[in-house]
Structure 1
């Protein structure tokens, strides 16, 4: 497929090489995705959308750079953005092309175990490796600017207390939006109060997290290395990444074993898992409605029924 003149000129300006063609690729539900074939024989990956979507792509690019900084050589592979901006009437993000051959390693646990270990390394290294945007920030939870989770706004800013951050910047906006859309959850305000109490004695390190780590945002590349992409980064309890990795399935148990062997999770992580995943269920309820509203209510009810019985600290 030939490229629009404005897009081709933009690529030459930012990459210094002429693009020959582009081909649509599947997998995205927000942006259009393309494979770019260049005159020097390389392939690249591009996301495009309308001009108004530039902040979303800029936030993604910022998140990828931050993850790559924290990952270093021992962490998971992260596609580092090559260019991001406006090309005519399109917002564009250009990334390296990766051969994501999940199927090739479907029966091989070793690459997934290595990916779990690499994620643990990223989390640990992020405590001392910070991106430019965080230079003047101390040990706090959040991110320098708001971003998105899927296509839903994700409220950030900075907060020294993890429980307060999670309640006020994660759960509360989702529950408030359901109220505004006419789908309020029973005892939502009670859950917010209790969640703060449950997390009061839990003092995690403010690790850089991927933030949207379901199986569609991770893969094993053709050379057997684990890759993560499409993040919703912020500094948080590292358990949020491991919790979401279990929410929708897709990660083999070897992934979690590799993480545990490298940096074991503290006690109380299992009951916290459901609380952290309530955020993602609420997000899906706001984005897609349907059965996710009922799943969110069921999760909320179960959390309130369980209360402090299993220990949260």
Structure 2
């Protein structure tokens, strides 16, 4: 069987181990196809590696996109109704090359404010984000709970990094997802990120909503959730994401005032 091998410096072993755990968690739900894992480790020369099943993948067609929407909804539904689940994950992992804190919380608003927005905003300030933007971001974090007065998200298992580059289809049309950053949280975070960076086929969103409709207010919460990823991109790739982050923060703070 052909294998796909990723390698890097020794410090990437933790990322590969988190990837193995995330793929195993998604596979265990028996809802969405993910690559099989053959192993991970570190060679004598200090090279860290992970070996995965090699898959012939193509971009999602409308038909495969619809199937993925249905299966993602099934993933969220099954895992969002498990007893005693909390927001977070037993171990920290990574979003792209950035560390992702997954300390568990009983409040989704607190989890998203403390484990998602706060660390990214602190790194953004260290990376040169103007103080005026950071101050607005801090005001937003203080008021995050206002976005959840009428909804109580379930702690669903999430892919966590669901953009178009982390999905594809096999020759028979089966959709596949990979490179996860799993944790338990609001299912809408997966749907929100799926609209970033090119997005998925429209059939994906329609099929998901038909299978499990979203709650009112998603369009506003979507901006909140995607702010996390835009801040992360500012921290990883620089000031090209500053204006987008500023506009999102300003829009969300205006919602709080309204």
Same fold (TM > 0.5):
yes
Question: Does 2:32 match 1:76?
Answer: yes
Residues 76 and 225 in structure 1, CA contact (< 8 A), matched pair in contact too: no
**RMSD, aligned CA:** 1.6
- Please state how far the C-alpha of 1:110 moved relative to its aligned partner: 1.4
- Please state how far the C-alpha of 1:289 moved relative to its aligned partner: 1.1
Aligned partners of 2:172, 2:4: CA distance in 1, in Å? 18
For each residue in 1:180-227, what CA deviation from the matched residue of structure 2 results, as whole angstroms up to 9, or x when unmatched?
A: 223142412111112122224431110000011010001111110100
Residues 101 and 221 in structure 1, CA contact (< 8 A), matched pair in contact too: yes
List runs of 5+ in structure 2 lacking aligned partners.
none
Per the alignment, residue 84 of structure 2 pairs with 138
Residues 52-71 of structure 1: matches in 2 within 5 Å? 52-70=11-29
Structure 1 or 2: larger helix share? Answer: 2
- Please state how far the C-alpha of 1:234 moved relative to its aligned partner: 0.3
In our comparison, the structure showing a higher alpha carbon Rg is: 1
Per the alignment, residue 5 of structure 2 pairs with 46
Per the alignment, residue 95 of structure 1 pairs with 52
For each residue in 1:240-277, what CA deviation from the matched residue of structure 2 results, as whole angstroms up to 9, or x when unmatched?
A: 00000012223011000111111111122121111111
Per the alignment, residue 123 of structure 2 pairs with 177
Match of 1:148 among 89, 94, 107: 94
Greater relative contact order (Cα < 8 A, sep 6+): 2
Per the alignment, residue 194 of structure 2 pairs with 245
What TM-score do the two structures reach when normalised by structure 2? 0.93
Residues 210 and 241 in structure 1, CA contact (< 8 A), matched pair in contact too: yes
**Structure 1 moving runs of 4+ over 3 Å:** none
Per the alignment, residue 165 of structure 1 pairs with 111
For each residue in 1:101-120, what CA deviation from the matched residue of structure 2 results, as whole angstroms up to 9, or x when unmatched?
A: 22xx64xx211111110111
Structure 1 or 2: larger strand share? Answer: 1
